[in-house]
Amino acid sequence: MSYIEPAPIKDKENPFESMMARFRVAAEILGLDNETYEVLKSPAKQVIVSLPVTMDSGQKKVFTGFRVIHSNVLGPSKGGIRFAEDVSLDEVKALAAWMTWKCAVVDIPYGGAKGGVICNPRQMSAGEIERLMRAYTSAMIDVIGPDQDIPAPDMGTGPREMAWMMDEYSNAMGKTINAVVTGKPLVLGGSLGRVEATGRGVMVTALTAMQKMKMNPVNATCAVQGFGNVGSFAASLLEERGLKICAISDHTGAWWNEKGIDIAKALEHRQKNNGVLAGFTGGDLIDNEQLLQSKVDVLVPAAVEDVITVHNADKIQAKLIVEGANGPTSASADSIIYDKGIVVVPDILANAGGVTVSYFEWVQNRLGYKWTAERVNRRSDRIMNTAFENVYATAKKHNISLRLAAYVVSIGKVAETYKFRGRF
Ligand code: GLU
């Protein structure tokens, strides 16, 4: 039954291998020829830079930065920049490929890319982060561009960092070019609805999946791992739609409340406490594993990669998993989850609302025009629903999981476009 799911690979997975394990199966289903397979799996460009930055102490520290352009077959490449201590080239390569499939699955005219800088922004001052962001932009000046490669926020970066990036790029070009990055503050050409877009897409795809599964959202129970830009908006929007959010977490801890956590209170607590949930009293303290394995209807992993693995997959009790994070389920865990009958709305579909509204932001910048929040939300909901139905129909047609179906849809699209564009 699960022969078509990727075979278990080794325990601690290399994220690029994890992506490739699914890619290989989808390529087989599509009957992809060898040449196209080789082209689509290989990143188009990988750049590594050393970034000397003056720290507040006056000393120079050299940071390492990456930008990987996985594909520009469908259009200019698109993807965020991650500031994290453990970010690696392999991780950025996987995340860049996921961006290619993500953009293709929601049918927006972008290829995929990702950037990363090895650093711990939590231990850096605003001035140090600004200098690092400007150094990164300057080092990548020939890589990025509004028709070429368009960065956006990811873990550890946000609108503030995008403003610095846009400013540094514009200074180098001698004119304001706001379409070079998305996820900017509103006053600099950011789009209404962008901040909550990823969480909103998670909510929309969760509700559509629940409808297909004949689950009533009202009073359905839900656990959300991660309370950053994705998890916090997903939690509050799902709560608004009637779900009971029984568990939430961030890097400081996890909380459980059978009666439902008051998300507005959690947001207020986070705002008053340096952006963290530590000290929150709206639930009992549990650990992250308990959150993942809790008895809820819906589980939304919206934090980091590889949290559902061979070690805990058979203990997951949720009926539906909606992946707010990129790569929260390792490839080895796929078949365990599938065999248990758990439905997974995969990352490249579930969290594509963010890049969809990034696309709208870029369109607005190029038009020199601003859309209303209502227009942004209406159009992104439509895109997310169309993408879901397309993936759902593909899953039914081939009798495969939604994850593999999402890969089949997106790889099929990029392969077809590649063939039209021709080759060397
Ligand atoms: N970093 C986000 C993601 O992983 C957004 C990327 C973008 O908007 O370009 O989807």
Counting from 1 in the atom list of ligand 1, the atom nearest the Cα of 355 is 8
Taking the CB of residue 400, how many other CB atoms lie within 10 A of it? 21
Counting from 1 in the atom list of ligand 1, the atom nearest the Cα of 326 is 4
In the chain, how long is the greatest CA-to-CA distance? 62
d(C-alpha 326, C-alpha 18), whole Å: 12
CA 295 to centroid of ligand 1, rounded, Å:
30
What structural domains and CATH numbers belong to the chain?
43-188 (3.40.50.10860), 197-350 (3.40.50.720)
Q: What is the pLDDT of residues 241-251, one digit of tens each?
A: 999 999 999 99
Which residues, given as ranges, of the chain have pLDDT below 70? 1-13, 423-424
Cβ 303 vs Cβ 328: under 8 Å: yes
Cα–Cα distance list, 368 to 156, 182, 365 (Å): 29, 14, 5
d(C-alpha 119, C-alpha 278), whole Å: 23
d(C-alpha 129, C-alpha 160), whole Å: 10
Cβ 254 vs Cβ 291: under 8 Å: yes
d(C-alpha 401, C-alpha 414), whole Å: 20
pLDDT of residue 16: 87
Q: Is the CB of 358 under 6 A from ligand 1?
A: yes
Cβ 252 vs Cβ 276: under 8 Å: yes
Cα–Cα distance list, 315 to 210, 291, 310, 333, 336 (Å): 21, 11, 10, 11, 10
Taking the CB of residue 331, how many other CB atoms lie within 10 A of it? 28
Q: Which of 114, 184, 244, 413 is catalytic?
A: 114
Counting from 1 in the atom list of ligand 1, the atom nearest the Cα of 359 is 8
Q: Is the CB of 354 under 6 A from ligand 1?
A: yes
Q: Is the CB of 182 under 6 A from ligand 1?
A: yes
Counting from 1 in the atom list of ligand 1, the atom nearest the Cα of 182 is 8
**pTM (global) more than 0.85:** yes
Q: Is the CB of 154 under 6 A from ligand 1?
A: yes
Please indicate whether residue 244 is annotated as part of the active site.
no
Q: What is the pLDDT of residues 12-70, one digit of tens each?
A: 568 888 899 999 999 999 999 998 999 999 999 999 999 999 999 999 999 999 999 99
Q: Any idea how long the chain is? A: 424
Strands 60-71 and 111-118: antiparallel
Q: Is the CB of 184 under 6 A from ligand 1?
A: no
Q: Transcribe 181-244 into DSSP letters.
A: -SS--GGGTPPTTHHHHHHHHHHHHHHHHHHHTT---TT-EEEEE--SHHHHHHHHHHHHTT-E
CA 336 to centroid of ligand 1, rounded, Å:
28
Q: What is the pLDDT of residues 1-23, one digit of tens each?
A: 333 545 444 445 688 888 999 99
pLDDT of residue 3: 39
Residues 6+ apart with CB under 8 A from 173: none
Q: Is the CB of 355 under 6 A from ligand 1?
A: yes
